[in-house]
Amino acid sequence: MSDLVHLRGADVDVVVDVSTGLPTIVHWGLPLGDTVDLSAMSSAMNRTPVAGGMGEIAPISVVPMHADGFPGRPGLAGRRGGGRAWAPRFTPVRHDLDGHVLSVESHDPEAGLDLSTIISLDDVLTVTVMVTNVGSRRYSLDALTVTLPLPVEADELLTFDGRWAREMQPVRTSWPHGAVVSENRRGRTSHEHPPLVFAGRHGFGEWQGEVWGAHVAWSGNHTMLAERLADGRRYLQGGELLHPGEIVLEVGEFYRTPSLVAVYSDGGLTPATWGFHRSLRRSPTHPSSARPVLLNTWEAVYFRHDTDALCELADTAAEIGVERFVLDDGWFGSRRDDTSGLGDWWVSSEVYPDGLGPLIDHVTGLGMEFGIWVEPEMVNPDSDLFRAHPDWALTTDGYEPVLGRNQLVLDLANPAAFDHVLAALDALLRDHEISYVKWDMNRDHVQGSGSNGAAGTHDQTLALYALLDELRARHPSVEFESCASGGGRIDHEILQRTERVWTSDCNDALERQTIQRGASMLIPPEMTGAHIGPTRSHTTARVHTLAFRVATAMFCHVGIEWNVTRLDDTERAELAEAVALHKRFRPLLHSGDTVRFDTEPAYCAHGVYAADRSEGIVSFAQLTTAPSLTPPALRLPGLEPDRLYRIEHVRLPRERWGLAGSQPQWLTDGVELTGRQLAAHGIRPPVLHPESAVLFALTATT
Ligand code: GLA
């Protein structure tokens, strides 16, 4: 039946009904097979009106409409003068299928609005919608979000919360009925409300159960809703959260939603999240070169910049095997602490009397790349920039601005401010041999009005993207990192413009086990910044062995954030050994499939399998004391069932073992097991102390 369009992914099918006002996804889940008769679907599936209800059942279309009788949150909200056109009703105009991309046009001549929907299915299901004002008066848009229906069995939610230095914390909620809302008004993707939700059958795990996941790929404000309607239907909805009056469409103007990016698997969370990873890996901006091990100066020297000391740090870094040296905050303007200087992107002659040249030459002379920290969206009131252009700060006239870390947001939607920042950064990159930019953003963007007095977060977010796009176009060989006080800006849209995220300001390995596990549900390890920090963590004061810190950072884009000049020769050699170990496994770690395993809460187990399942590496960490002294066997699903795998302990410097008479034999001798055995009975991890980890490698021998 021509009203139903069938999109096929690798392990997922989507069927879209294009006869409804807006297209309606009538199936998103298991593949339906090659010989499916779609025309049978409607008669098999359709809901019939019921006593006490409306005469027609409003579909849960990608933009469900109040005027169709949809009882949940409408996908489109807005109005014209006097409150008119508040409840439009669309009819489909045309649709077009081009490969795996379906475009549908819908129209409401009464309201003077056109909606264009694009639905594509490859590694991920992606939906975007655009509304155009084709009427004769301005239209105020309050919300345009994308909605995906879910089956009733998806009755458990996995969402994430967090805070500074504790990002991506998983939260499981039973979802029998009603609505769960996650809204972010912080003007950046946020630590608190990552725009990511999974729904699945009750008790879904890493390798079991059907799982549906959705992510709003947007770096500003967002809203996500999961609702079970009283009639039993469920849906997920996500999009940009608009402040009052933020989007006003003049005649002929349009607004496009961020992409809602969605994944599905009938085999649990781990396979579902491969879709997110594969989609980022397919992006033209995804880095293809080996991820350079970096040293970041922040926790090594903070604001104590001194060329000689930094050169010494670079010498030691190079000796240890570091490949990129990143100069963090403190090199510019009057920036001797966090009270002043943001906005003045010229090299401080106070700390660098001969400029950055000598340090950069020293670093590159050692064979390392040079990277630099900037925070271009911000300004300190105590800065030359603010004194010259106080009106460039995003504030609201008549009100005292709220400061965060002594700073304000610059109005990048103001072309003069945009051009100024672009010129300053362009000159910085043009005049220095800089290969890498750590792009920071350390203040929530609140109370920010644009130059017209209306809320400015939407325009600011687009201006940020435009600024990054322009800089990347002018400096195509420079890589960028997205940092926002650590992991405050981790999303798939910023990752079209950055090769890495700074996942958290917390380098404590114990905290990082959970933070990185959460992040791995959205982004692949090569984009996930993870640093080996000092023995005593600067953000928690916990003390961890080098082995635990290395095992934790090892899987991601590795860095060191530690004053390594203070290490003695043995410690340097151990760190160099750790860096070499990472480099040995790096090709596998950054190309394979990330796998996570379900364990008791005292443990955290994850790894990477090569795409062809010829090898793998697994980490088993003990986070806290556990109910049993001997850890339960760890099952490793997802390998080739009939291949034989040799399992060998990967030794880490300064490993520490728990209180055991002896440890499992395989730890010293290795062992060979089939993929089927590894999934069925698994392997016994050693007895560990809390806050330690063991790594083991898997190599197929058949
Ligand atoms: C933020 C970042 C840190 C560091 C400091 C510098 O907190 O997350 O990594 O760059 O700013 O001020």
Which ligand 1 atom is nearest residue 338's CA?
12
Question: Collapsing DSSP states into helix, strand and coil, what is residue 125?
Answer: strand
Instruction: Sort residue 281 into left (φ over 0), alpha (ψ -120 to 50) or beta.
Output: alpha
Which ligand 1 atom is nearest residue 505's CA?
8
> Angle CA(525)–CA(526)–CA(528) in degrees, nearest 5?
60
Beta strands 222-228 and 178-184, pairing class: antiparallel
Q: What is the mean pLDDT of each run of 10 residues along the chain (702 residues)?
A: 88 97 98 92 89 92 97 98 97 98 98 98 98 98 98 97 98 95 97 98 97 98 97 97 97 98 98 98 96 98 98 98 99 98 98 98 99 98 98 89 94 97 98 98 90 92 98 98 98 98 98 98 99 98 98 99 98 98 98 98 98 98 96 98 98 95 97 98 98 98 95
Q: How far is the CA of 578 from the centre of ligand 1 (A)?
A: 25
Dig out the tokens for 110 from the structure. 């009464």
11 belongs to the catalytic site: no
Q: Whose CA is nearest to atom 5 of ligand 1?
A: 329
Q: How far is the CA of 192 from the centre of ligand 1 (A)?
A: 18
Ligand 1, pocket-test mutation among 297, 326, 374, 442, most atoms within 8 A of CB: 442
Q: Rounded to whole angstroms, what are the CA distances from 130 to 2, 75, 182, 231, 433?
A: 24, 12, 23, 29, 41
Which ligand 1 atom is nearest residue 486's CA?
8
* Cβ-contact 368, 317 below 8 angstroms: yes
pLDDT of the residue at 620? 98
Q: Rounded to whole angstroms, what are the CA distances from 692 to 230, 507, 531, 543?
A: 48, 15, 16, 11
Q: Whose CA is nearest to atom 6 of ligand 1?
A: 329
pLDDT of the residue at 160? 98
For residue 481, how far is the Cα from the chain centroid?
Answer: 12
Ligand 1, pocket-test mutation among 163, 373, 562, most atoms within 8 A of CB: 373
Residues constituting the chain: 702
Query: What is d(CA 696, CA 681) in angstroms, rounded to the nearest whole number?
Result: 17
* Cβ-contact 501, 489 below 8 angstroms: yes
Question: Collapsing DSSP states into helix, strand and coil, what is residue 318?
Answer: helix
pLDDT tens, residue by residue, 258-292: 999 999 999 999 999 999 999 999 999 999 999 99
pLDDT of the residue at 43? 87
* Cβ-contact 240, 257 below 8 angstroms: yes
Residues with CB under 6 A from ligand 1: 298, 328-329, 373, 440, 442, 483, 485-486, 502, 505
Q: Rounded to whole angstroms, what are the CA distances from 124 to 31, 159, 188, 301, 534?
A: 14, 19, 24, 42, 39
* Cβ-contact 457, 448 below 8 angstroms: yes
Q: How far is the CA of 413 from the centre of ligand 1 (A)?
A: 24
pLDDT of the residue at 62? 98
Query: What is d(CA 508, CA 166) in angstroms, rounded to the nearest whole number?
Result: 10
pLDDT tens, residue by residue, 484-507: 999 999 999 999 999 999 999 999
Q: How far is the CA of 678 from the centre of ligand 1 (A)?
A: 42
Strand segments (E) across 538-581: 557-560
Q: How many helices (H) and strands (E) does the chain have?
A: 13, 35
Question: Collapsing DSSP states into helix, strand and coil, what is residue 620?
Answer: strand
pLDDT of the residue at 262? 98
pLDDT of the residue at 1? 45
Task: Using CB atoms within 10 Å of the CB of residue 698, give its burial: 0 to 12 exposed, 13 to 18 middle, 19+ buried.
Answer: buried
Nearest Cα neighbor of 603 from 676, 687, 534, 529 is 687
pLDDT of the residue at 674? 98
Q: How far is the CA of 246 from the centre of ligand 1 (A)?
A: 30
Ligand 1, pocket-test mutation among 294, 505, 531, 539, most atoms within 8 A of CB: 505
Dig out the tokens for 328 from the structure. 């963090």
Q: pTM for the complete prediction? A: 0.98
Q: Whose CA is nearest to atom 7 of ligand 1?
A: 485
* Cβ-contact 595, 270 below 8 angstroms: yes
User: Which residue is catalytic, options 108, 114, 491, 505?
Assistant: 505
231 belongs to the catalytic site: no
pLDDT of the residue at 42? 85
* Cβ-contact 298, 329 below 8 angstroms: yes
* Cβ-contact 645, 699 below 8 angstroms: yes
Nearest Cα neighbor of 693 from 604, 621, 600, 601 is 621
What single-letter amino acid sits at 248? V
